[in-house]
Amino acid sequence: MATVASQVILHPIVSQSLKFGSTTLGRDKAYRAIQYFARFFGWYLLNKDDKTNAARWNALKSHLGTARKLLRLGKPLEHLQAALRASFASGPAAEQILTIGRQLAYFGYLSYDALVWATAIKFLTLRPDTAKRIAKTSSQFWLAGILFSLVNGILKTVRLAKERKKLEVATSYGEKDISAENQREARLSSVKAAQTLARQQFFIDMLDVWIPATGVGVAHLSEGTLGIFGIITSILGMQAQWRAVNSK
């Protein structure tokens, strides 16, 4: 019995899950997935006129949202640093400007989000209209950040496609070109990997953009639809973080 328990507790999946959960980003992605499932399921139960259970799931959604805001309290400075680093980086000017814009927008979003959290836990006492305005401003910054990311994703995808085409049609002959050919193959592999990441991020942004867009009133998707979108993007985010943590 002890051997079976040891095999279960010390199983590689358990160890990898603990390693994943030990990171703040890993916990945030897991909480986000549950939060958006609760959002979807609460909407589903409400449509079934099961108000009691719907209230339970909506409460879970709200509390997880508040917990995630706490985890993100230091994030605005990270995005400010990322914007500064992007300003010093080399690369296409348009992509650089969009990256800086995205990081600054997320700085604004998470700064206002901290005020939303402080109001939710009653650390700050604001008038209802002021609290609502702060929440809307937070969503506006979030929406702006995703829009910057979407445009940047389009430009990056076009640039990488052109670079890949040039690399694929380039040919080298003779022993003297072996080094250059190896460099070309390495660069081609790097471009392909970058294309995969760019496509995934674009897909995530295309789904996530509707969440703040609905929050600010420029779109009117149902809670169920937003919940499904959030579940999908959360799972993709969890997969990326899982690979990042457990590939080390």
pLDDT of residue 174: 46
Give the number of other CB atoms < 10 A from CB of residue 72.
17
Show the tokens assigned to 228: 């499904």
Mean pLDDT score, 46-57: 96
What is the distance between the alpha carbons of residues 193 and 216, in angstroms, rounded to a whole number?
35
Average pLDDT on 95-113 reads 97
141-156 residue pLDDT tens:
999 999 999 999 999 9
Q: Residue 180: its pLDDT value, please? A: 77
133: pLDDT strictly greater than 50 = yes
Q: Band the pLDDT of 18: cuts 50, 70, 90.
A: confident
| Residues contacting 172, CB < 8 A, separation 6+ | 178, 180, 181, 184
Residue pLDDT, tens place only, 224-248: 999 999 999 999 999 998 888 887 6
Position 14 scores a pLDDT of 82
Tell me what the pLDDT averaged over the chain comes to: 91
Residue 150 identity (one-letter amino acid) = L
Determine contact, residues 153/198, Cβ cutoff 8 Å.
yes
